[in-house]
Amino acid sequence: MLAPLRHHQFFSLAELNTKLATLVAEFNDKPMAAPRAGSRRSLFEAVERAALRRLPAEPYAIGEWRIACTVNIDYRIALERNFYSVPYRLVHKVVDAVVTLTTVQIFYRGERVASHVRATGRNVWMTAAEHMPAAHRAVANQTPDRMRAEAAKIGVATAAYVEHLPTGRDHIQQGVRSCLGGSPAPGRAPRGGVPLGLVCRRALVRLRRAIAQKPPRYPRSAAR
């Protein structure tokens, strides 16, 4: 198709494409040389069109394989200074990963076991809840934000008291443990049948009173 264009001059890409489309149609409709019968178009319609498949919904993504990645004890592998989880049963196993521009897919013995969005930056932890053992999932869900949300469903006094618990300890998990120990399910009365909101209201009064009566602490002077 280039030979017929050798004496033509084009002033835009659109003009060239229009001419090429015309030449392609003519080439496909041109009868083939003997002993073959028909044209390329007739052969395509008779044989090849029925075998065509739909194009993929997403474009093909070029990936880079990372072979023999060892799963750490925290059921994650390290890739590009980021960390991706796999099912916890694969701890200490060796897996392979394929990294594309947007995803990280992890395979064990040829079977895909995890798929993550590719992290940007460094020291990013990508963890899927279904990869964690049951005990780890329970701990992961016990966060101060979750405790605050559950307390807010019960009442204002409960929310105010729970707001104090995580911040009144040396470690956040100590406050979360206190929330879990003293907070029954919403709508369920604690010991003695007293509503939880009333219990928290009384606790807040005592807490504020204790803070008001507590003597101030002054820094100890270094000089004696």
Q: What is the mean pLDDT of each run of 10 residues along the chain (224 residues)?
A: 85 92 91 88 90 87 94 93 95 96 95 95 91 79 72 79 64 57 50 66 76 62 50
Residue 208 and residue 166 in one domain? yes
Residue 93 and residue 153 in one domain? no
Displacement of CA 139 from its chain's centroid (Å): 19
Tell me the pairing of strands 64-70 and 103-108.
unpaired
> CA neighbours within 13 Å on the CB side: how many for 187?
0
Structural domain count of the chain: 3
Whether residue 181 lies inside any domain: the answer is yes
Closest CA to 100 of 129, 61, 128: 61
pLDDT score recorded for residue 34: 84
pLDDT score recorded for residue 182: 56
Whether residue 224 lies inside any domain: the answer is no
Residue 30 and residue 73 in one domain? no
Whether residue 11 lies inside any domain: the answer is yes
pLDDT score recorded for residue 186: 45
Whether residue 220 lies inside any domain: the answer is no
The model's pTM is 0.50
pLDDT score recorded for residue 147: 73
pLDDT score recorded for residue 203: 77
Neighbouring-strand partners of residue 209: none
The range of the structural domain enclosing residue 96 comes to 64-132
